Structure 1
Amino acid sequence: MFKFTDLNGYGVTLSFKKEAFEIEPTHILILAKKQNQWLLTNHPKRGLEFPGGKVEVGETLTEAVIREAYEETGATLTNIEWFASYYVQCEEPFVKAVYTAEVQLLDEDFKRYETLGAVLCPTEDLMNEEHLSFYMKDAGMKKMLEKESERV
């Protein structure tokens, strides 16, 4: 397990083993690629970040991944796989499940609600992108990207 403090000052424990935490994940994060480029969503306040969000009542984690990816980017995903989970020790602790996937299709005309749509970013430019959300800059994100690159 990898422990770090996030940029909000909360303790976080990251694990690459399934069911490493006693509480069920209530949030998801999606590390998806399209032709060797990362799928990011352009959040109007935070900037560029991986898509993700809360799991709705009655929804499986995979269903949440599919829904959030489309809602935030217009992406249809394939090869969705569990990758990691992390436990955030805040006022109301929660676990976020991290999934990897491939982008099958990007719908340019999807109805945008919370974001400004999809941005594709090559791996070599990802951490140097000037408009990255603060969520993308913590030690946990760097560890996940490092671990993901070892899988390829």
Structure 2
Amino acid sequence: MNADRRYEGCRALQTEASSFGAKLPAKKALHHLIAFHICYRVRNTEDETRIKEKAEFTKSKAGFQQHTTQWNNDMAHWAESVGGIEEAISRRRISKELTKCRVPTWMNDKDRACCHLHLKPFTNTRRNHHCRACGEIIC
């Protein structure tokens, strides 16, 4: 990494601090400049070491195998999750199809003179109703 790029952020902060003029005291501007310089260098150093470690890790055969094994495990986990979802959807679809197929046929009102459950005759006060589950006539 060349020196110009390394101190690019410091120059930007220095020009920003000088643009404040009298609003920002020189001592405070210097502290800001030093803090930014330290943060910038630490961040760049961490990024560089992380990139180097990752490159070293994937360059070695064992590191590459470990990386691919982890990736395969992740893919297997996702496949299991998707498979479980597909199974649940198919079960729900089947149960919906079964409920659609089993529509009850309603009994004719004239076929029943009494309640199917209570065996009581229908009157003007005890009216007949069709059961939505089985289609029988009940009171």
Fold in common (TM above 0.5):
no
Under a length normalisation based on structure 1, what TM-score does the superposition of the two structures give? Answer: 0.16
Instruction: Compute the TM-score of the two structures, normalised by the length of structure 2.
Output: 0.17
Q: Which has the higher contact order (CA 8 A, sep 6+)?
A: 1
Structure with bigger gyration radius: 2
